[in-house]
Amino acid sequence: MSDGDDGRGPAVRDVETILILDFGSQYAQLIARRVREAGAFSLLVSPDTPIETLRKHDPKGLILSGGPSSINEAGSPRCDERLFDLGVPVLGICYGMQLGCHLLGCDVEAAEAREYGRSRLTIESAEGLLANIPQETAVWMSHGDQVMGLSTEFETLASTPTCPHAAVRHLKLPFHGIQFHPEVTHTPHGVDILRNFLYEVCGCRGTWRMSDFLETACREVAERVGEDRVICGLSGGVDSSVVAALLSRAIGDRLTCIFVDNGLLRKKERELVESTFRDHFDIDLRVEDASEEFLSDLAGVTDPQEKRRLIGHRFIDVFKRSAAEVAKEGRGEARYLAQGTLYPDVIESGHGHAGQAANIKLHHNVGGLPEDLGFDLIEPLRDLFKDEVRALGEVLGLPSHIVWRHPFPGPGLAVRVLGEITRDKLDLIRECDEILLEEIVAKNLYRSTDQVFAVLLPVQSVGVMGDGRTYDSVVAVRAVTTSDFMTADWARIPHDVLATISSRIINEVPGVNRVVYDISSKPPATIEWE
């Protein structure tokens, strides 16, 4: 839903947009979320995006993010120097402040010592950007350089004991700079400062609402599709379910949903999808049992990327076959394929920024899609974070057990059975996963966790059962909490619950004699193991 020049479809209309030029900050996605939470739409764009492309978004304001580079380093990232010609307010954060001040004639030098951690901010001008912020407040610093020589066209708004110009504004241009990070929780009034930028400086009205997004998305899908037919790969997860419901509202009976039983599903997954969408929604749902084909493709394959590639190619073959059958029925040729790509997918794949090559990670959505799809892609959720998708699902009236369902990867259990895929291994991990989720639900932990699953490891360990020695499989349990799936922390499941899960799996699933719990966070680990 952004500008066509970067390959992402038409721009969102009637929405107040803040563009965030991402200079490599580890907090850039967090800035985007904070802006949306405050009631404005946000998009991350490449820092070198030409001003002409920025103008097409009709932004209400720009934010220049922080970043790891030094302004004084050769090759450090820059933005279009005509940035201020847009005439909209600009907020520079950390590196973004240094770059903006540098472009406007200030001196940026290395600080005496790199500053990292909390500092005390003293506000000298409590207006506009810093309106209603306590005169003394804590802020989070993370910088090596800082603005030292402020030009006469600037005024200092706030300082810290080690940073004389911790917040500044230009007297003629709508530019503000802050050396600290307002987006992190370590800056208690940081969200208030961002809200001040949106409402006091940019004049936003807080128009970013899911109901408005739904109306805009439906209109744009209908305009793009016209009289053509759309194929939607329905998995039963929240993303594809929301896509299906949105498309059904947008184009009605020109939508055909295809659920592919690839043999890599959770236990009773097929029955759940059929009962939910065939019985409760007026959607043309086709179920394709292609499990033999998928498992045949995967026989002997151990490399995770090759698994995804094979799965993605087979998915497209099945979609094409189903689309041909729909056409034979006289329901029209399917030109479009819809899938539930989300904003974290776009960002992590490296093409959320204008001008960067499209390189979708193979694990997103249905897997490693071939370059020649035979369909045009429709991705109506690609500008949304996960929690926003759930909110949209509620607006669409989807049942809560779908809206709040934990994610399940497009390649299915293929990336939760490490190593070679066999029917016996799939059956084993299905049983483990069902026990795990039963206990999580029974202990009322499902909604307080965001993803919980079992992984079959490609190792065996020695154990003792009864009077005999065993040499059986090891299962890892993974449970995480996250707000957007960009980062995640391992869930602190109570030890007694973990004990019950381990005991049940070992006693009830033949072939397992050891259960381990994954206590790694993202980053550095990913959520899925493959």
Q: Which sequence positions are flagged as catalytic? A: 94, 181, 183
CA–CA dist 187, 38 (Å, integer): 16
Say if residues 253 and 230 touch (Cβ distance below 8 Å).
no
The verdict on whether omega for the bond into residue 523 sits within 30 degrees of 0, i.e. cis, is yes
**Which string of DSSP letters, residue by residue, matches 12-59?**
PPSS-EEEEE-SS-TTHHHHHHHHHHTT-EEEEE-TT--HHHHHHT--
Strand-pairing partners, residue 63, are: 20, 91
**Which string of DSSP letters, residue by residue, matches 478-502?**
EEEE-SSSSSBEE----HHHHHHHH
CA–CA dist 409, 164 (Å, integer): 49
Burial class (CB in 10 A: 0-12, 13-18, 19+), 459: exposed
Looking only at the bridges linking them, the beta strands covering 90-93 and 61-64 are: parallel
**Which string of DSSP letters, residue by residue, matches 59-75?**
-SEEEE---SS-TTSTT
Say if residues 404 and 386 touch (Cβ distance below 8 Å).
no
SS3 label, residue 363: coil
Say if residues 447 and 297 touch (Cβ distance below 8 Å).
no
Beta strands in 134-265 (DSSP E): 136-149, 154-159, 167-170, 175-178, 229-233, 255-261
Nearest in space to 71 (alpha carbons), one of 44, 111, 112: 111
Nearest in space to 337 (alpha carbons), one of 216, 443, 453, 256: 256
Burial class (CB in 10 A: 0-12, 13-18, 19+), 184: middle
Write b or e for each residue in 123-160: b if 16 or more Cβ atoms lie within 10 A of its Cβ, otherwise e: beeeeebbbebeeebbbbbbbebbbeebeeebeebbbb
Nearest in space to 79 (alpha carbons), one of 60, 94, 63: 63
- Helices then strands, counting H and E runs in the chain, come out as 15, 18
Packing angle, helices 495-508 and 423-442, rounded to 10: 150
Whole-number Cα distances in Å, 392 to 214, 386, 397: 7, 10, 9
